[in-house]
Structure 1
Amino acid sequence: MRLSTIEREELTKYIETHSFDRDFKGKTILLTGAKGLVGTAITKWILLQNEIKKTDTVLYASTRNPEQVPDYIEAGDQIHYIPHGKEAEYCKAPDYILHAASPTGNQYHMQYPLETFRTNVDGIERLLDLCSQKKDTVLLYLSSEEVYGLPKDDAPLVTEETVGAIDSLHLRSCYPLGKKACEFLCHAAAKEYHLNTRIIRPTVIHGLFQRYEEPRVVNEILRCIVENKDLHMKSDGLTKKCMLYSLDAISAIFTVLLKGENGEAYNASNPDTFLTVRDLADRVFQKFNPSIKIVFENAAKQSDGFLPHRSIVQDCTKLKALGWEPKADLEHIYHVDIARFKK
């Protein structure tokens, strides 16, 4: 597998820090959404772990375009790209299923709300059926902190028991409502049919593996630093979020997969990164490129696909009790990507 120097250094550090190789040795993993940010991070972690730890983990990577193999894959890598929707035909008895596939992007959600919802629900139903074929298969569902909706309190600390309000008459709700429905199916399958299902609710994941042109504000902030241009914001920038480094997210995913309780959900976040979008931009601009600034344009309407102001901090006590801790701060996340894209 071909990796940049930065990717190899970062991945090696995390692989050596954790001991997931013991559980993955000789196992088969089915991964959906293999070419997304999370899927790419999982793929590179597993394949490099095979190289370093000799784990011989076989990866089946589900994607819509299996014939388009990423350029970092080399002959001999223990990975098979398979068609999305036909996972059961190609990987009949996986030891682990990591379900990270989902339509993403505000504009897609607004333009195709029914497709967004149905893709999520149909996908998890198909994989739960596959999970039921082998008694010991463990399925982890990648949900989202958006399932908490819009809490009324300002910056509430939400636990896994917090029930969020989501407007069912708003098209953008197709994504969090789809995630909620999938969580219910995982929970019900664990309780009714005793399937080994776990759920993780990560916050915004960033760093190391996302595409440069990704249409997210955290990526636009990165592009402004690299290209030495001002940030033009269409919102007021007051939505307040946490951020989680991609490798911290993957270590959280593996922790829940291997140690989580069946039918349970786990928050994954880094409360130390809790900032408004504008404060995030100010902070990293001052650190990495003080010459650029924020320019506010006309505030976007909710119909443009932007969520209303949200200020949520996820309580990660439940996940930390399994032995997980986030390691990377904001400066490290942006430092890695600035170095990566400037090269």
Structure 2
Amino acid sequence: MSTATLDLILNDYHHVTANKTESLAAIKNTTLVITGGTGFVGTWLAGLIAFLNDHHAFNVNLILIGRNIEHFKMTRPHLAKRNDIQLLSSDIRYLAELPQETNWLIHAASNPDNRFHASSPMETMSIIANGTYSILRAIERCADFKMLLNLSSGLIYGSQPMTHPAIDEHYIGAPKCGTVSSAYAEAKRFAETLCHSSRSQARMPVITARPFAFIGPYQSLERPWAINHFIKDALSHKPIRVLGDGGTIRSYLYASDMAFWLLSILTRGQSGEIYNLGSDEAVTLKELAAMITALIDPAIEIQLSTASNQPKNSRFVPEITFAQNNLQLAVTTDLHHALKKTIAWNTL
């Protein structure tokens, strides 16, 4: 990776931790394990830990568990070659034990790509359900374990009514059973229940985070989500094609905020609690496309598809006041700057 791309991310870490590093002090001189550690979420967390070690003497020993370690070594050498980061290759469904020194664990091992969910729904559910079970059993053998942070999904709430501005952690909803498209969300619901069962039966210290949508460097523009397609097409100076009339509503949390929030929830959240993880800055896809073209080339055409067979508009926006009020967290990068940074990183 170029110096310019690394500097952009380093500046993000400086920004998101300004005057707040001591809020993460509980993690100093400990060992953190991240499953799914070589993916988008894991990479941002690894970078934040490296930043805290380099600039604030946190002395965290980080262990990343993933299935594609060699690819991580090739694409993220600035992290893979560090002495304070260990890489372990494993399918978490068959993980029998963790390093005995493990104090904290962030369980982020699942594939959020809905193309994979559609083509391999049983594999999707197996990775989430059996992987979570293996992790819980492995943690039981760690001598000084402090907290498990299980990454669930905002999709567990089911379809959000268009008239419901934001979903809070107490919203009663669920995915539609009996459809392949619900495989990921239903498995995440099961994994949440499994974690809370372990808390009850084995006194496992566990917190749940429910991620919504993110954007930022390290996220491939080949991902099958609207924002990624919009940026990719605009950078190629192609028309941006919006399914439907553009009235679908989303929100996007920038990656550095995501990483800081996760470490904050891990180290300062209370066992048994559930926290939404996302931004409350709602935007329609039509507005999003316009923001992207304004940053890249205002002359790029935005094409709306209003054919009768287009999907209905949907809404996916979290209520985040619980985390804001209880953990003093804030969204430090608004959508405009999140897009600006992401576009810059993809053009360096």
Query: Counterpart of 2:8?
Result: 6
255-264 or 131-140: which moved more? 131-140
For the pair 1:329 / 2:334, whether they are aligned, the reply is yes
After superposition, the Cα gap between the structure-2 partners of 1:245 and 1:177, relative to the gap in structure 1 and judged at 3 Å, is same
Query: Structure 1 CA distance, aligned partners of 2:134 and 2:44?
Result: 24
- Please list every run of 5 or more consecutive structure 1 residues that lacks an aligned counterpart in the other structure: none
Deviations 1:26-73 (A, max 9, x none): 111111111211111001111121111122211111111234423223
Q: Aligned-pair distance for 1:251? A: 1.5
1:180 corresponds, among 189, 196, 213, to 189
Query: Structure 2 CA distance, aligned partners of 1:62 and 1:209?
Result: 18
Query: Structure 2 CA distance, aligned partners of 1:187 and 1:280?
Result: 37
For the pair 1:66 / 2:69, whether they are aligned, the reply is yes
1:254 corresponds, among 263, 274, 280, to 263
1:78 corresponds, among 80, 84, 91, to 84
Q: Aligned-pair distance for 1:256? A: 1.3
310-319 or 177-186: which moved more? 310-319
Query: Counterpart of 2:285?
Result: 277
Q: Aligned-pair distance for 1:17? A: 3.6
- For residue 318 of structure 2, what is the amino acid of its counterpart? Q
Q: C-alpha root-mean-square deviation of aligned residues, in Å? A: 2.4
- Please list every run of 5 or more consecutive structure 2 residues that lacks an aligned counterpart in the other structure: none
1:24 corresponds, among 27, 37, 49, to 27
After superposition, the Cα gap between the structure-2 partners of 1:16 and 1:148, relative to the gap in structure 1 and judged at 3 Å, is same
After superposition, the Cα gap between the structure-2 partners of 1:108 and 1:258, relative to the gap in structure 1 and judged at 3 Å, is same
Listed as ranges, the matches of 1:287-298 within 5 Å are: 287-297=295-305
293-302 or 58-67: which moved more? 293-302
Task: Tell me if the contact between 1:230 and 1:295 (Cα under 8 Å) persists in the aligned partners.
Answer: yes
- For residue 180 of structure 2, what is the amino acid of its counterpart? L
Query: Structure 1 CA distance, aligned partners of 2:82 and 2:36?
Result: 22
For the pair 1:245 / 2:237, whether they are aligned, the reply is no
- For residue 272 of structure 2, what is the amino acid of its counterpart? G
Deviations 1:256-299 (A, max 9, x none): 11121212211122212x01222211233234421112224586
Query: Structure 2 CA distance, aligned partners of 1:332 and 1:108?
Result: 30
Query: Counterpart of 2:50?
Result: 47
Query: Counterpart of 2:204?
Result: 195
Identity within the alignment, %: 25
Task: Tell me if the contact between 2:53 and 2:60 (Cα under 8 Å) persists in the aligned partners.
Answer: yes
Q: Aligned-pair distance for 1:13? A: 2.2
Deviations 1:110-165 (A, max 9, x none): 11111111110111111111222235331001111111101445234322111113
SS in 2 for 1:4: helix
Query: Counterpart of 2:315?
Result: 311
Task: Tell me if the contact between 1:30 and 1:59 (Cα under 8 Å) persists in the aligned partners.
Answer: yes
Q: Aligned-pair distance for 1:89? A: 4.1
Task: Tell me if the contact between 2:247 and 2:313 (Cα under 8 Å) persists in the aligned partners.
Answer: yes
Task: Tell me if the contact between 2:31 and 2:60 (Cα under 8 Å) persists in the aligned partners.
Answer: yes
SS in 2 for 1:146: helix
After superposition, the Cα gap between the structure-2 partners of 1:104 and 1:314, relative to the gap in structure 1 and judged at 3 Å, is closer
After superposition, the Cα gap between the structure-2 partners of 1:171 and 1:15, relative to the gap in structure 1 and judged at 3 Å, is same
Query: Structure 1 CA distance, aligned partners of 2:88 and 2:194?
Result: 24
Query: Structure 2 CA distance, aligned partners of 1:92 and 1:235?
Result: 52
SS in 1 for 2:209: strand
For the pair 1:33 / 2:39, whether they are aligned, the reply is no
After superposition, the Cα gap between the structure-2 partners of 1:6 and 1:309, relative to the gap in structure 1 and judged at 3 Å, is same
Task: Tell me if the contact between 1:21 and 1:49 (Cα under 8 Å) persists in the aligned partners.
Answer: no
Query: Structure 2 CA distance, aligned partners of 1:100 and 1:276?
Result: 28
For the pair 1:115 / 2:119, whether they are aligned, the reply is no
Listed as ranges, the matches of 1:122-201 within 5 Å are: 122-134=130-142, 136-152=145-161, 154-201=163-210
SS in 2 for 1:261: coil
Query: Counterpart of 1:232?
Result: 241
After superposition, the Cα gap between the structure-2 partners of 1:245 and 1:50, relative to the gap in structure 1 and judged at 3 Å, is same
TM-score by length of 2: 0.89
Task: Tell me if the contact between 1:47 and 1:77 (Cα under 8 Å) persists in the aligned partners.
Answer: no
Deviations 1:294-331 (A, max 9, x none): 224586979xxx8x643243221211121111111111
241-250 or 149-158: which moved more? 149-158
SS in 2 for 1:167: coil
SS in 2 for 1:314: coil
